[in-house]
Structure 1
Amino acid sequence: MAKILIAEDEASIRRVLKNILTEEDSKFEIFEAKDGQEAIKIIESEKLDTVLCDIKMPKKDGVEVLSYVKEQEIDLPMIMISGHGDIETAVETMKMGAFDYISKPPDLNRLLNTIRIALSHNDLHQENKKLRKKVSKKFKMVGESEEIDQIKTIIAKVAPTDARVLITGQNGTGKELVANWLHEQSDRSKKPFIEVNCAAIPSELIESELFGHVKGAFTSANKDRAGKFEAADGGTLFLDEIGDMSLKAQAKVLRALQEHKIQRVGSDKDIKVDVRVIAATNKDLKTEIKQSLFREDLYHRLAVILINVPALKDRKSDIPLLVNYFLESIAKQQGVKTKAISGKALDILMAHDWPGNIRELRNVIERLMILGKQKIDEEDMKLYF
């Protein structure tokens, strides 16, 4: 049942609007407010689906109600009702984030159509929120070992800040997972999370990838292109394998961190960016600094907070939890029934040193889900160990 608030100081107009809506759909639950102050109280107490809000009202006007909704970040489509003299104000409310506006006297078809669109928009928005929650489960941090508890504690403290974080650890330990957790628990979680694998991009292209370029900057630059810093504006930029970045690109990243602005390749125009940078590496950057392969000043800019993700062999107590998690999640992905695992099979997994870390463990479990018996036992393990 859709909940709709009619905020209008004239009782006769409220009555007409209510009649129109209840005739359109008897399942609509209609709330009424005679002024902006009363409207805000209802918005606070009820989970509404949309609001019809007059611009001119006593106590608080429609603009103030809209401002309140936006300031509180309430997901609520606001349809503004404007008199003939309020059109300019109505247009301003659209710039503020109103869903639409209807002129008095309202055209019946336009009114109903706007409400239908607002309600469907709200449904879509709620589905997107559910989808985001499902996506976030992809980055679940599984484990109860002391090492993982320490990482979770650090993330809880650091995520709400804009402090830069350097994540270290072997390949396959879950450095990307930590970066995603930091972003999802931050105030920037609604903004983009942009990942750049510095090791996967040729050194001659890394600057263009990070900072963008203008047309004609180099042979294949046939149009202007924004880089990852601009794409991540307001959000988080994750520089994975930063130890593989060229010294020239490191200098530009350092400037971006210091001055909060960048220049596209081939341009001398500064572009302001608001980006939180999280970096990760499997290299010992202090050794890289001694060998003049990494800038010490950039290291200190990045390593405000250090998080080291342990190898799986150093947190073997988490293996049973990880195995069960992968068995269930892979079964859901493949649309099949999950499999059980015997104690002896689990012992074999616990005894392995996992040079490929969690990535290797997941690959083994996926193969066992496909090729193993319904209850995975030590016979199945002979295929891999």
Structure 2
Amino acid sequence: MIQKILILAAFLISGLTSAAQNDYLESDAEDVEKTYIGGESYEVKTFSQNFKAKKPKNVILFIVDGMSLPHLHAGLTANKGSLFLTNFKYMGLATTHSANKYITDSAAGGTALSTGQKTTNGAIGVDVNKKPIKTILEEAEEKGLATGLVSTSSITHATPASFIAHQESRNMYEEIAADFLKTDIDVFIGGGYKHFTERKDGRNLVEELTQKNYRVEQDINTIKNIKNGKLAGLTASEHNGRMDERGDMLPVATSTAINILSNNKKGFFMMVEGSQVDWGGHAGSTIYVVEDMLDTDRAVGKALEFAAQNKQTLVVVTSDHETGGMTILEGNYETGMVKGEFTTGGHTGIMVPVMAYGPGAEQFTGFMDNTDIPKKIRKLLIGN
């Protein structure tokens, strides 16, 4: 028990910024973390459902890592019955198994969502034979669209890495960082600064990014004022911390990326990951799940605000897998109280929600596999 308390204390204080890439898997919440007692709610806008065409010019894909219906409902309850996500009128469910396991990890789940192909657990942007698969982000680049990635984790972590890197192991962080230099991605914002600078091969990828005309910044308050050009926002040495440390980094980074990418007259594709709902599930912490569901929802609100005004942008929200086997034992819409319970400290095979808003949103209804999601996006955005 004493050891568990010490682990939890270190986990809460550090916010994961000084932890190793996978330390979030080692956390274990006490009963005090199982109940979110409630807090201040935020106002949610209702957006117009009128759009300019049947196909989008821009696509914003949100991956809420670890989310299934209980996590979503926990967020809805905590914000007293209202979320930006309730603007989504077209909804479906997706299966998430990998090529070799009923229970996927984030690498295989991310690769399925980025390429439309199944792969083995642990693999990043490669097929079952370890051969690279072109991602939807890379295809968008080839069509002249602007591209971007945003994450509250390290930008080299499994989910964002799956859209830009091709490595046989998700743990090859330095190799994944080097893969960014092989692309023309316009904007990426997340942690992972050390994987670009403190490297075994001696390369300084920040210097190389600068030579490729990227503006490299670490302070989100500086990043949020950038309106154009190429941007590498590396906001933490490894992962960004929990909400009490990182603040509104995700909504701010989402808005910043949209502002920059929308300068491209041909359109854009971007992926935004709310990484740490997954970590709350691993920790068995309702509090952690709720705070990151609400943080991601506010980021979704920024995307919806742009999409409603632009009228040419498709916003899709889904997850790579469920984490924690979460259920809700009690709640209160008036106070925002949520009492959760978790059946596992790992992932499960439960289906995940798929939600869509904008031109082409009607394509994302019913039962589907996670590989269907990028195929639908590709057909709508790229045309093949």
Give the alignment's TM-score, normalised by structure 1: 0.23
Which of the two has higher C-alpha Rg?
Answer: 1
Higher relative contact order (CA 8 A, sep 6+): 2
Which structure: greater strand fraction?
Answer: 2
Give the alignment's TM-score, normalised by structure 2: 0.23
